[in-house]
Amino acid sequence: MNNTKVRMLPPGNKPAPGMPKKRRSSGASLDTRKARSGWLFLAPFLIGLFFIYAPVVIDSIKFSFATVKIIPGQTFKLIPVGFANYNEALFVNTQFIPTLTTGIKDLLFDVPAIVIFSLFMAVLLNQKMMGRAVFRAIFFIPVILCTGLIDELDVSSSKFNSYMQDTTTSIDTGSGTDTVNEIVNVADIQWMFNSMKVGTELTSYVVNIMNNIYDIINRSGVQMLIFLAGLQSVSPAIYESCDIDGATAWETFWKVTIPMVSPMILVNAIYTVIDALTSADNSVMMFISDVYRESSVVSSAMAWMYFSIVLGIIGLVAVALSAFIFYQRRD
Amino acid sequence: MDNVKNKPDTAPKIKKETKRRIRVDFERTSFWTRFKLKYISSGFLVSSIFKIARFLLLVGIAYVILMPFFTKISSSFMSGDDFVDVTVKLIPKYPTLDTYKAIIKENGYFIALIRTTALSLTCAVMQTFVCALIAYGFAKFKFKGNALLFGLVILTMVVPHQTLQFSLFMRFRYFDLLGILNTFNIIPFTKINLLDTYWPLILISLTGLGFKNGLYVFMLRQYFKGVPDELEESAYLDGYGPVKTFLKIILPLSVPMLITVFLFSFSWQWTDNFYTRLFITGFNTQLMPDIAKVPSLPDPSIPQGMFEAAANNASAMLIIAPLIILYLFCQRFMVQGIERSGITG
């Protein structure tokens, strides 16, 4: 009885003794108030986006359509030149288009190799076995150590090494490329594939991968981590029921593991493309950096063209893969 | 059932000892039968072959990963005599510390070490915290434009640095306080040159725009999504606001993931040479990229090319040595954090 009485009182009145004082900070519902604090958490990113990132992107687009004149005082001036920079990049600079096409071709070849390799390694590292922790620790070393500066040192020393091999007996520069030659002989693989009667394109593709295995291992660290996390989230009950129904490991892999990690395949494909864009040995980016030293505006134009092509590729990959993705409904 | 009835001897015998304890006698199959069933079968053969192959494969790949480090270490200790000696391949016969000494002395290693540590630590702490904030906002709050903004976060990672290289340089070379002062002409000459200071990197870190911060936001968002909502609801009931809930409940919960992100951001900032070279160009601001220079030849008889290779390796070792120590401490958390995140699309 008492309860109903309290509820019927107008809001301004004093609540019954014993009831906690109701706090009404605003007329908004709990959901709206929660949404508001969501914006609070995003504040740093929003500030950065509007005050640093968006202006920088807009500037960069502007620069690609202009020439920059630095006035000795405190400022610089932009003189718009229309499509002149793009024109120069495409038609005057003879090296840009060949570099671009080979760079994109390399990218398209690398992405499947890295995704498949990292999925394979993640499946292996997910199994229970002796020394799993040690293997995991070793496999994630490249993520931490072989980035940026070290990567660049490796690239320069491997170039140097190929020069050295012609001239004298060389010391191992530690770039990893030498190690691989000791493990796999390319001729063997070629022989194996020739006897299997598959096309020469596939042969050269596999041989290429084998030659760059060090590179591929180095670049698939984060992807391995993401796949491993995806595999961990697959409920063991599914595997158990497969086992009871008599499915072999092969069938389980294709019917359970692949669909369950398929969202990760998309994420990793996109990440691999992004990672390739920012790596030190990306030929197109190296070329653009070289151009940057001569003419920064032309390099801006080139970079935007390259980026828009790659964005198109990412879009295509996303559309193509999303047909095969299986999303588990959890609710 | 019939089986049990017909052969009551094979059924386990239950002896009641006391009221609370019973003893069961099983008849054990002989050792030989058990051995035969377990080890002499095609299934065991196949699985053991598979296990051995898997082990060999993993060892092989581990070798490919570790070998460059061994060769780096060994060739960095080589002296002039080793370069000339044809028999020396991997292990130097006359090890020397001269290369290290030259790099430490000529390239100012210790100054660079202290500066880089300070810079990386600041940036990594900021990036970890800010990315956690942003990721929590994306993971747990539903508001209009959530998905769109998250797409923007990913887009900031997709746009390659080189695209923005020049305009980033210009923005921080002629920095006006967030573009406000210049737009409204409050004070005419307020453009500050922020190059050669740590401010560009700190500003970028504070706003979650640093190197690969989109990836951190993505990882942390997946992790926070896995944290049950009930936990926060109970915190709200106990009178915590969203910020306090985040600081006191969510952050302590996600320490493994935070350490993973910290490890990534620290080491990627440490070896980063894009932003550092772009923003810090001066000569008296020694940072890690400056270590990677070939010092002058200690002895004119040493072949120049050989010495360059050895010096490259030595400087690489000097650069990654602190990172290796950090990795040894943190890698346990890395796998743990990733495993618990349960990342799904």
Digit-coded pLDDT (tens) for A62-92: 777 777 666 665 556 667 777 777 777 777 7
ipTM over 0.95: no
B 100-139 residues with CB below 8 A of A?
130, 133-134, 136-138
Confidence of residue A15 (pLDDT cuts 50, 70, 90): very low
Residue B247 lies in a domain: yes
pLDDT above 90: residue A244:
yes
Contact B152, A49 (CB under 8 A): yes
> Number of CB pairs < 8 Å for A and B?
309
Give B54 to chain A, closest Cα distance, Å.
8
* pLDDT tops 90 at residue A245: yes
Task: Report the Cα B30 to chain-centroid distance in Å.
Answer: 52
Selected for mutation to probe chain B from A25, A26, A30, A45 (highest B CB count within 10 Å) is A45
- Burial state string for A241-266 with b = 16 or more CB within 10 A and e = fewer than 16: ebeeeebeeeebeeebbeebbbbbbb
Closest in B133, B163, B309 to A173, CB measured = B309
Residue among B68, B320, B345 minimizing CB distance to A179: B68
Distance of CA B9 to the CA centre of its chain: 61
Higher local confidence (pLDDT), A292 or B328: B328
Residues 214-253 of B with CB under 8 A from A: 215, 217, 222, 241-243, 246
% of chain B at pLDDT higher than 90: 3
**Domain range for residue B222?**
107-291
In 3-state terms, what secondary structure has residue A52?
helix
Find all residues with CB under 8 Å of B158, minimum gap 6, and list them: A270, A274, A277, A311, A314, B214
Question: Which stretch, A91-95, A294-298, B59-63, has highest mean pLDDT?
Answer: B59-63
A313 CA to centre of own chain = 13
Given an 8 Å threshold on Cβ–Cβ distance, is B174 in contact with A74? yes
**DSSP string of B292-316, one letter each residue:** -SPPPPSSTTS-HHHHHHHHHHHHH
Residue A25: which of A17, A35, A33 has the closest Cα?
A: A33
Check A173 against B75: CB less than 8 A apart: yes
Among B102, B110, B51, B60, smallest CA distance to B286 is for B110
Overall residue count recorded for chain A in this entry: 331
A168 or A202, higher pLDDT: A202
Tell me: pLDDT of B5 over 60: no
How many CA atoms, within 13 angstroms, populate the side-chain half-sphere of residue A326? 12
Contact: B78, A171; criterion CB under 8 Å: yes
Q: Which of A124, A135, A169 shows the shortest C-beta gap to B86? A: A169
Higher-pLDDT residue of A316, B311: A316
Query: Is B82 in Cβ contact with A74 (below 8 Å)?
Result: no
Percent of chain A with pLDDT over 70: 67
Residue A240, chain B, CB below 8 Å: the answer is no
Position A328 confidence tier, pLDDT thresholds 50, 70, 90? low
Percent helix, strand and coil across chain A, each rounded to 5? 75, 5, 25
Task: Say what the pLDDT of residue A241 is.
Answer: 92
Instruction: Considering only residues B20 and A161, tell me which one the structure prediction assigns the higher pLDDT.
Output: B20
Averaged over B283-303, what is the pLDDT? 66
Q: Helix or strand or coil: residue B175? A: strand
Say if B49 falls within a structural domain: no
Residue B63 lies in a domain: no
Residue from A21, A22, A52, A324 to probe the interface with B (highest B Cβ count within 10 Å): A52
Decide if B321 is inside a domain.
Answer: no
Do A183 and B268 lie within an 8 Å CB cutoff? no
- Looking at residue A4, its amino acid is T
Superfamily covering domain A84-322: MetI-like (1.10.3720.10)
Distance CA A253, CA A235 (A): 14
Least confident of A168-172, A280-284, A327-331, B203-207: A168-172
Chain B residues within an 8 Å CB radius of A100: none
Interchain CB distance below 8 Å, A137 and B178 = no
The CATH number assigned to the domain holding B184 equals 1.10.3720.10
B191 lies in a domain? yes
Of A289 and A319, the structure prediction assigns the larger pLDDT to A319
Give the number of domains in chain B: 1
Beta strands in chain B (DSSP E): 13-16, 22-25
Establish if B245 belongs to a structural domain: yes
pLDDT of residue B132: 92
The residue with greater pLDDT, B26 or A97, is: A97
Disruptive mutation site among B273, B279, B344 for chain A (greatest number of A CBs within 10 Å): B344
Closest CA to B277 of A171, A109, A149: A149
Which segment of A227-241, B136-150, B180-194, B276-290 scores lowest on mean pLDDT? B180-194
**Among partner residues A144, A228, A270, which is closest to B338 by beta-carbon distance?**
A228
* Closest chain B residue to the Cα of A163, Cα to Cα: B305
Residues in CB range of A60: below 8 A, 6 or more apart: A300, A303, A304, B163, B164, B166, B167
Average pLDDT of the residues of chain A: 73
Is pLDDT at A4 greater than 60 in this prediction?
no
